[in-house]
A = this chain, B = another copy of it.
Amino acid sequence: MYNILVVEDEKEIAAAIEIYLKNQNYNVYKACNGIESLKIFNKEDIHLILMDIMMPEMDGIQTVMKIRENSTVPVIFLSAKSEDTDKILGLNIGADDYITKPFNPLELLARVNSCLRRYTSYSNGVLPQDDVIRIGGIELNNMTKEVLVDGVPVKTTPLEFKILHLLMKNPNRVFSIEEIYEKVWNEPAYNPDTVTVHIRRIREKIEINPKEPKYLKVVWGIGYKFEG
């Protein structure tokens, strides 16, 4: 049973899609804007996203970019525009397919089926390599959300994992506290202390001596980096 997230601000279209998909025995989650979709995506185990491009608040492209920062879930774009450039560009940011409105319900279903088949076929045997990052003695698995320190599993909270993931995805790059906050929390306003405290907790879990960190280093006056 697959979970499909439909992100679409026009209620009637969303309802119609829901009917088609439920008839095919898919489980449907609905969001009417980008922000809501991110919340659902972070909470549920979504196998495919149908994303409208034109939306209030945060448009579909921005939303997919956010999702792509730490997931390779398949995405099919829905759009009123049919220009070829858009089509190609949409695929460039990691969309798996593209359907122009008004669409044929059968076409929609066909693409959804094919997309899921394609994705599950290569996620069966070999996992996408992006999901495991290993630097020094630290191994981070984005699929299972597991962290290994010298082979020993360590429990991390969701926020700790996100911060560590961000830094380990770009080893040696320095992130300012503000940057970390924006990327992890998806909000502009922030309290620097919050990030600092989480950094401290991550250090407690992955460093032998948190006061002299080997991996999670501070660059004074600039920010933090994962050294590898």
* Interfacial residues, chain A to chain B (CB-CB below 8 A): 1, 19-20, 23-24, 59, 61-62, 65-66, 69, 85-86, 89-90, 92-93, 104-107, 109-110, 143-146, 157-158, 172-174, 219-222, 225
Contact = CB atoms under 8 A, between A and B. Distances in A.
A106 B61 contact: yes
A35 to B, nearest CB: 13
A20 B63 CA distance: 10
A23 B66 contact: yes
A1 B89 contact: no
A143 B172 contact: yes
Number of copies: 2
A203 B94 CA distance: 48
B222 A144 contact: no
A220 B158 contact: yes
Given A23-B66, A62-B20, A222 B174 contact: no
A101 B90 CA distance: 19
A89 B110 contact: yes
Contact of A144 (B19, B24, B109, B225): B225
Contacts of A143: 172-174
Given A172-B143, A225-B144, A89 B107 contact: yes
Given A104-B86, A105-B61, A172-B143, A221 B157 contact: yes
Contacts of A92: 106, 110
B145 A219 contact: yes
A176 to B, nearest CB: 11
